[in-house]
């Protein structure tokens, strides 16, 4: 799983910096966070955000700041909602992408891109949950989610 995750992050980094404005890194981070809910995902957000900023000409630390704040808000909502579900990921991806695109690419077709990002977010989430299902069943939190 670790290697798959690394490939996903590198791929999303290269895609976002080279060919598209769709927030791939954010989508992958969010999908992974709702499944894992571990502190180290925040540090992962900081590191990937740093690399993303460096290769997309943004002030360093800005993407990491956005990612960590958004993941923190998602964590707060954990008590009120079941976050590892398709409707939550769809909503969170849409809202997060909307803010992300508005902050970093305010001149584009922000809403349409956010809708596309939300759909993509769900696909990544479903893929991650299927890949991670075996590992999660051993975990108390995960077993509640998938049984």
Partner 1 sequence: MRKKENFFLAFFIVLILSLFIFGLSKTGILFPVTSITQKLFSPFQGLTYGVFNSFENFGTSGQVKKLEAENIDLASIISDEQRLKEENSALLDQFKTADVQTQSLLPAQIVGAPGFIPGFSVPETFIINKGTSDGVESGDTVVYKNNLVGRVSKVEGFLSQVSLVTNSSSSFTAKTSQGVLGVIKGQGGGQMILDNVLLSDNLSTKDLVLTNGDTNLSGGGFPPGLVVGKIVSVDKRPSDLFQRAMVTSFLDFSKLTTVFVIK
23 near partner 1 (CB under 8 A): no
Q: Residue count at the site for partner 1 (CB under 8 A)? A: 41
Contacts of 34 by beta carbon, 8 Å cutoff, 6+ apart = 74, 83, 84, 88, 89, 92, 125
Candidate list 4, 6, 7, 60; residue touching partner 1; CB under 8 A: 60
Q: Which is nearer to partner 1, 101 or 122 (CB)?
A: 101
Residue 4: other Cβ atoms inside 10 A: 12
- Helix, strand, or coil (residue 147): coil
User: From CA 111, how far away is CA 109, in angstroms rounded?
Assistant: 6
86 versus 111: smaller Cβ distance to partner 1: 111
For 100, the token pair is 């992300």
Regarding 107 and contact with partner 1 (CB under 8 A), the answer is: yes
Per CB under 8 A, 36 contacts partner 1 = no
Cβ atoms of residues 35 and 84 within 8 Å: yes
* Residue 102 engages partner 1 in binding (rule: CB under 8 A): no
Interaction of residue 69 with partner 1, rule CB under 8 A? yes
**40, 80, 138, 147: residue in contact with partner 1 (rule CB under 8 A):** 40
User: What number of CA atoms fall less than 13 Å from residue 64's CA on the CB side?
Assistant: 17
What is the contact surface with partner 1 in residues (CB under 8 A)? 10, 13-22, 39-40, 42-43, 45-46, 49-51, 53-57, 59-62, 64-65, 68-69, 72, 75, 107-109, 112-113, 116
């Amino acid at each position: 799983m670790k290697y798959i995750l690394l490939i996903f992050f590198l791929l999303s980094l290269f895609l976002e910096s080279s060919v598209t404005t769709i927030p791939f890194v954010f989508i992958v981070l969010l999908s992974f966070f709702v499944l894992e809910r571990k502190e180290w995902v925040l540090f992962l957000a900081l590191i990937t955000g740093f690399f993303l900023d460096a290769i997309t000409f943004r002030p360093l630390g800005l993407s990491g700041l956005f990612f960590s704040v958004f993941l923190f808000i998602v964590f707060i909502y954990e008590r009120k909602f079941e976050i590892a579900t398709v409707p939550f990921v769809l909503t969170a991806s849409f809202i997060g992408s909307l803010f992300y695109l508005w902050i970093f690419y305010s001149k584009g077709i922000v809403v349409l891109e956010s809708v596309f990002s939300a759909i993509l977010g769900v696909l990544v989430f479903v893929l991650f949950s299927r890949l991670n299902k075996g590992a999660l069943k051993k975990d108390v939190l995960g077993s509640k989610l998938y049984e």
